[in-house]
Amino acid sequence: MDFIPVCEPFLNGREMEYVQDCISTGWISSSGKYVKAFEEKFAEYCQVKYGVAVCNGTMALHLALVAAGIAPGDEIIIPNFTMIASAFAACYIGAIPVFVDAEPDTWNIDVSRIEEKITIRTKAIMPVSIFGQPCEMDKIWEIAKKYNLKIIEDAAESHGAEYRGKKTGNLADITAFSFFANKNLTTGEGGMVVTNNEVLYDRSRYYKNLCFPLDAPRNYNHSDIGYNYRMSNLHAAIGLAQVEKADEYRALRIKNRNFYQQFLTTIPGISIQETRSDVLNVHWMNGLVIDSELYGRTRTELINHLRENNIETRLFFIGMNRQPSLIKYGCSPDGNYPVTDNLSENGFYLPSGSNMTKDKIEFICEIINNYKR
């Protein structure tokens, strides 16, 4: 079998045509029709009113926090098991990320543990839809209303996912997406903030573009310190082509998961992410958590064995409470996070790109199955 990478970008729509249009017309900066078209089309896909395209998902998260008015010293509840960008976005503001352990089955933030972390300084909750599965949003909304908190979703991994029939993007006050090369929809590098709230939309547009006045003539008079987080027309051209096929790409990722589930379930000591019945999980990545005692091999042994068979894998994230950068910054390393620890010690993900095939997934699962001791 040829080398099977963890993920490859999948571009099989009108990307080339739209990019060529940018180049032949000279519209390659952020002023160009594709930026607006991509924003509108993606917002529509998320069932929200507004989209603001930016240069990557990390900056989308930062911009969402800025738009929501998060200030230095504010505390933001985030999952301990997430990608580092969720926490860094808070740090850019001088806010303090406060960690909550994951649920053992869904791997999402454990909503039953949020309230104990709330203090007088808490201003927001940042749910992260890990590997494509939305969190228990009704409960998060309940808590947010009770304590008057903003909800800023990190949906970098969950384009098109649904919670009780509503899409990610439409589940929070403001939501950040990533279009990095391995995400379900990609522009190479890119991101977007989406919201139904006109004030948050205006603040996002304003801070994204150096705080140039929004609807006034350009007089180079800046009332606030802004950022240049603009997305180029070239990237938006790719994004528009991608979002035109969003349902197709979503179905491909879900199909991957169904094959993994079909071929893996019989192996003791191997578990996969459980999907709650009230969500549509878009399965950005298919992760495995291995119980070495039951499986008879360690994670390292299995990963090496897969590599010898030309199969690439990636380790799971390390808990935020164990990140040297965040501890240096002032986050508390204290507290017990047994679920995160188990995931980060025993989890890794398998090839999950939109161009995976049934044969490849069956081959990968056979290798895992036969290696059991």
Residues whose CB falls within 8 Å of the CB of residue 241, separated by 6 or more in sequence, listed in order:
11, 13, 14, 15, 17, 18
Which C-beta is closer to ligand PLP: that of 152 or that of 156?
Answer: 156
- Distance in Å, CB of 295 to ligand PLP, minimum: 27
- Distance in Å, CB of 262 to ligand PLP, minimum: 26
**CA nearest neighbour of 356 among 215, 213, 279, 249:** 249
- Distance in Å, CB of 156 to ligand PLP, minimum: 3
Which C-beta is closer to ligand PLP: that of 189 or that of 301?
Answer: 189
- Residue closest to ligand PLP, measured at CB: 57
Which C-beta is closer to ligand PLP: that of 50 or that of 180?
Answer: 180
Residue 296, class by beta-carbon neighbours within 10 Å (0-12 exposed, 13-18 middle, 19+ buried)?
A: middle
Q: What Rg value do the Cα atoms of the chain yield, rounded?
A: 21
**CA nearest neighbour of 313 among 364, 358, 373:** 364
Which C-beta is closer to ligand PLP: that of 77 or that of 83?
Answer: 83
- Distance in Å, CB of 341 to ligand PLP, minimum: 19
Tokens standing for 73? 């010293």
Which C-beta is closer to ligand PLP: that of 75 or that of 153?
Answer: 153
Where does this chain bind ligand PLP (CB under 6 A)? 56-58, 82-83, 85-86, 128, 154, 156-157, 178, 180, 191
- Distance in Å, CB of 302 to ligand PLP, minimum: 23
CA–CA dist 171, 138 (Å, integer): 9
Q: Are 168 and 158 in contact (CB under 8 A)?
A: yes
**CA nearest neighbour of 290 among 270, 305, 272:** 270
**CA nearest neighbour of 262 among 364, 338, 151, 186:** 364
Report helix angle 233-244 to 15-25, nearest 10: 150
Q: Are 326 and 91 in contact (CB under 8 A)?
A: yes
**286-290 sheet: strands from edge to edge:** 270-271, 286-290, 347-350, 314-315
- Distance in Å, CB of 83 to ligand PLP, minimum: 4
Which C-beta is closer to ligand PLP: that of 80 or that of 178?
Answer: 178
- Distance in Å, CB of 154 to ligand PLP, minimum: 5
Which C-beta is closer to ligand PLP: that of 99 or that of 295?
Answer: 99
